[in-house]
Amino acid sequence: MDSLADRLSRIAALRPVSTISRTATDVADACPDTLIQLLGGELRFTQFGSHVRVRRRFRSPQPEVISPRALRLICYNTSAVSPDLSGWLLLDTETTGLAGGTGTYAFLVGIAWWEQDSFVVEQLFMRNHGEEPSLLLDLESHFARDRVLVTFNGKSFDWPLLQTRFRISRIRIREPIAHIDLLHPARRLWRPQLGSVALTRLERQILKLDRGPDIPSESIPQIYFDFLRGAGPRAIAEVFHHNRMDLCGLGSLLVHLNTILSEPEECGCRGSELFGISRMLQKSGGEERLARRVYEKALESGLPADAERAARRELAFLAKRGCDFERANALWLELSNDSREGFRACEQLAIYYEHKARLPGKALAFSRQALAKLREAFHARRITLKEYQRRYAALQRRLTRLAAKL
């Protein structure tokens, strides 16, 4: 006869996962108090139970304020945001996975802020899942007043994950008045140069910071699972360190962005950074002249081919809007032989000579050139059939019209 245990032993769904690791020595020194001692933390009690809190201060003069320009460039909705940093809160979580969904937990939540001449990092940790509600309640208290939240990739990861956690624990959390995710400006500024804009990479290569020995972030969930099953606190202490370094890096990144975005012309940035800044300036609107100057500066500093092409195109567009046709025409001429932008540039020149300069002959010549370039681009599959058809029809109309004018 077969017992339930025998039956269970055959179930594929019960087969152990490969990554289980636990050693006897680790278990020996597993004691909750040693963790608190090791970290210099304290046990916090709330109406929902207890959790661990670790607070550290770093000497760091507070940046006075975020300049209005920098704020506008990194934050979409600036109206409610005070540039005074006292209401700003930096946040980073360590989780049991990256998959999201309701079964992923933020077991360590780090927050940081400036206070007089210190940068304060506070870390909230649950020693087991039962401590989650207490941790969340403590975190919630930081959101009791208006907050500007600063994260790195928090818009799509950390904050939705925390919202899920709060919802499951039935704790209401006040939404921050603004959420600034520095991943987005970082991408604009550094992706061409670095490829990937992971925070650790930015620290090393842009901010020139060295965080010292650190654990790879993909090992973090397993470290926590091992801790739950009795492994010692040393590995978890390294996760705390990692999280703290992430917050320091986030703070440094904010300061750095404030510096270069406040005075883009004086920041000593390299071409690709300037190009990124000018695109941000152009997108946020309002400072087109500055955007043009920064584009020009970026072109002077030298750009990779793709960026150079885009910079010329955008700059020409801005020049046209500013009625600086001399500059616009020069840029279009530079682009007129380009395999990707050529047809657009020639079309723009045709428009200029037809309507502004009123030289239909020249306009006709550029229209023809545009048509040839358009065909080329289509055959090289640089544009879709739909776009080709649309532009082709427009150019044909222009040619007919110009022929009539001649």
Residues in contact with another protein by the rule CB under 8 A: 1-2, 4-8, 10-17, 19-20, 96-103, 105, 128-130, 163-164, 167-168, 221-222, 225, 228-229
Integer-rounded Cα radius of gyration of the chain? 28
Q: In the complex, what is the shortest distance from the CB of residue 246 to another protein, in angstroms, rounded to a whole number?
A: 19
Rounded distance between C-alpha atoms, residue 259 and residue 10, angstroms: 62
Neighbouring C-alpha atoms within 13 Å toward the C-beta of 233: 20
By the 10 Å C-beta count (0-12 exposed, 13-18 middle, 19+ buried), 380 is classed as exposed
Q: Is 59 helix (H, G, I), strand (E, B) or coil?
A: strand
- Check if the beta carbon of residue 189 is closer than 8 Å to that of residue 277: yes
Residue closer to another protein (CB basis): 48 or 317: 48
Residue closer to another protein (CB basis): 15 or 381: 15
Q: In the complex, what is the shortest distance from the CB of residue 37 to another protein, in angstroms, rounded to a whole number?
A: 22
Residue closer to another protein (CB basis): 90 or 135: 135
State phi, psi for 401 to the nearest 5 degrees: -60, -45
Q: In the complex, what is the shortest distance from the CB of residue 46 to another protein, in angstroms, rounded to a whole number?
A: 16
Q: Is 251 helix (H, G, I), strand (E, B) or coil?
A: helix
Question: What is the bridge-based pairing of β-strands 88-95 and 106-115?
Answer: antiparallel
Q: In the complex, what is the shortest distance from the CB of residue 76 to another protein, in angstroms, rounded to a whole number?
A: 17
Rounded distance between C-alpha atoms, residue 70 and residue 337, angstroms: 37
Residue closer to another protein (CB basis): 94 or 341: 94
Residue closer to another protein (CB basis): 21 or 396: 21
Q: In the complex, what is the shortest distance from the CB of residue 338 to another protein, in angstroms, rounded to a whole number?
A: 33
Q: Is 338 helix (H, G, I), strand (E, B) or coil?
A: coil
- Check if the beta carbon of residue 219 is closer than 8 Å to that of residue 94: no
Q: In the complex, what is the shortest distance from the CB of residue 79 to another protein, in angstroms, rounded to a whole number?
A: 24
Residue closer to another protein (CB basis): 37 or 163: 163
Q: In the complex, what is the shortest distance from the CB of residue 241 to another protein, in angstroms, rounded to a whole number?
A: 21
Sequence-ordered list of residues with C-beta below 8 angstroms from that of 275, at least 6 positions apart, any chain: 192, 295, 298, 303, 307, 310, 311
Residue closer to another protein (CB basis): 10 or 208: 10
